Chain A
Amino acid sequence: MAPQKTILLADDDPDYLFQLSFYLQKAGFRVLPAGSQKEAEKILEAEKPDLAIFDLMMENEDSGFILSHKMKKKYPEVPVIIATSVAAETGIPFGLENEDDRKWIKADCYLEKGIRPEQLLNEINKLLG
């Protein structure tokens, strides 16, 4: 059996954190939940996850970007998923399709919140290769 993979999950919505942790654990992952950008930063000091999922807006409007920037600096190879419900309403194209965006938004995948857990697991498995 493959060793258990660890996912760092940061979201300031306690319900989203609970639900997602539940599904990830059920899918066999070890989950490090963080309720804020600060908590996530603390966890990153002590642990190296295999993948991270960051909510975009926590204490700061761009907490997710800050976190992924910091994490990529420390662990460039660990994939990051940024999850938010902002994109659809604002129309801000957060896509990571072109090289330029990928350079400054240090995330590997950008997901709308509210997607089905199976979809998210698909993306996670793709990134974990």
Chain B
Amino acid sequence: MDRLKILVVDDEPGIRSGIVRILRNYRVSYPFMDEDFEFDLLEASTGEEAIQLIDAHKPDIILLDNKLPGIQGIDVLEYIKEKNYDMVVAMITSYASLDVAIKATGFGAHDFIPKPFTPQELKSSIDNITKQLFLKRITRGLKEEGKKIRYQFLSVLSHELKTPLNAIEGYLRMMQERQLGNDMAAYDPMIDRALSRIQGMRNLIMDLLDFTKIRFEKRQEHIRVVNVGELTRNAIQAFQPYAIQKGIEFTVSCNDPVLMEADPSDLEIVLNNLISNAVKYNIDNGKVTITISDTDKEVKIEVADTGIGMTTEEIEKVFREFTRIKNEKTKNIPGSGLGLAIVKKITELYNGSIEVESEPEKGSIFRIILPKKQKSVS
């Protein structure tokens, strides 16, 4: 049960007591609201008194007569607006002139209750106001929590997509304007750069799909017993061509079979990201060592590289969405800044943990621990 405070402001005692009588035992419920609403009533006979009560009690709803002996209802409304109070105001007035209505609406009045009103009319006004208040507060709650995060995510995402577009557009314009003359060969480096930015965008979109997929939940129906060693060897296979180019050597040590319950595609995403990072951020002719071990309850996957490594400061940032460690060494390595955020999300989804050890110029070790058994969908 939720309670809302209603302040009734009217100089006629009869109207005030009538409203109090009607609303004292009234209850508002809607199927979409978790709880019913009941009302506590406060009364004021003048605008001055109303302002005092507003400051002291912060009512949720104010039923406000415009025609008052001292300051007018409109002035009270103006006061509420000035103070930025979160209150819904309904004007009760027999002089529902257009002028007052316009002015009152401008000052934030939400509703008009014409005098005289029947109990039913009053109740339906209160119904509407309560619903409005409820939705407004729910929305605000969302805004403060998830919505803000989503908004941030979207704004960074559009930034990440816009940057390569700008670069590609820039090159196309340079070509269109024949900035380097009419010899097509002069533009080859620009074409290469543009293609590489397009590839980067494509990777980002792929990562984004992975990311939104895991944002929902583990798909229980896809969970089965998987062989971690086998998945790892398959993942390495996919990176072989790139690794050979860089002269990277893989070593896998695994007490086969290491079995656990998982959606194989989730585990593939994790392994692909860790292995591709270990190759990407490695030095030429470096090593990637993958160690898989298990206990009765847990599987531990360790991916170690001999690459550029990270400082303590960089380690802190590395799991954040769209955060890429930017320095001289990473400048020319493409990446969406989502890979490790995805890995972390999946690990958490499986009630596992991830940690990283790293030293600049020495390399990094990413260590994931996952429980073997997955609880049924909660």
Contacts and interface: CB of A to CB of B under 8 A. Distances in A.
A22 B167 contact: no
Contacts of B193: 14-15, 18
B265 to A, nearest CB: 31
B253 interface: no
Given A36-B326, A85-B162, A89-B155, A19 B167 contact: yes
A14 B331 contact: yes
B170 A16 contact: yes
Interface in A7-57: 12-16, 18-19, 22, 26, 35-36
Among B154, B166, B171: residue with most chain A CB under 10 A: B166
B169 A22 contact: no
Interface in A67-92: 85-86, 89-91
Nearest to B167: A15
Given A12-B331, A15-B167, A58 B326 contact: yes
Contacts of A86: 155, 159
B39 to A, nearest CB: 38
Contact of B169 (A12, A35, A90, A114): A114
B179 interface: yes
B33 interface: no
B159 A19 contact: no
A15 B173 CA distance: 13
A22 B174 contact: yes
A22 B134 CA distance: 57
Contacts of A18: 193
A108 interface: no
A59 B170 CA distance: 23
A26 B331 CA distance: 26
A67 B308 CA distance: 26
A16 B326 contact: no
A14 B193 CA distance: 10
Interface in B311-342: 326-328, 331-332
B326 to A, nearest CB: 5
B227 to A, nearest CB: 42
Given A12-B326, A36-B328, A85-B166, A90 B171 contact: no
Interface in B150-180: 154-155, 158-159, 162-163, 165-167, 169-171, 174, 179
Given A85-B159, A89-B162, A114-B169, 12 more contacts: A13-B163, A15-B167, A15-B171, A15-B193, A19-B171, A19-B174, A22-B174, A85-B162, A85-B163, A86-B155, A89-B154, A91-B155
7 contacts: A14-B332, A16-B170, A19-B167, A19-B174, A59-B327, A85-B159, A86-B155
Interface of B: 154-155, 158-159, 162-163, 165-167, 169-171, 174, 179, 193, 197, 326-328, 331-332
